[in-house]
Amino acid sequence: MANLTTYAENALLNKLLRNTDFTQPVTVYLALFTTATDPTGAGTEVAGFGYARQPITFNAPAGGVVAQAADIVFPQAAGGDWGVIGWAALMSAVTGGNMLYQGPLATARTILNGDQAKFAAAVLTAALS
Burial 32-71 (b: 16+ CB within 10 A, else e): bbbeebebebebebbeebbbebbebebeeeeeeebebeee
pLDDT tens digits, residue range 24-37?
Answer: 999 999 999 999 99
- Return d(Cα 112, Cα 116) in angstroms, integer: 8
Instruction: Please give the share of the chain, as a percent, with pLDDT higher than 90.
Output: 92
pLDDT score of 1: 63
Q: How far is CA 94 from CA 38, 56, 70, 79, in A?
A: 19, 11, 18, 22
pLDDT score of 128: 86
Please tell me the pTM assigned to this model: 0.95
pLDDT score of 106: 94
pLDDT tens digits, residue range 51-97?
Answer: 999 999 999 999 999 999 999 999 999 999 999 999 999 999 999 99
Q: pLDDT averaged over the chain?
A: 95
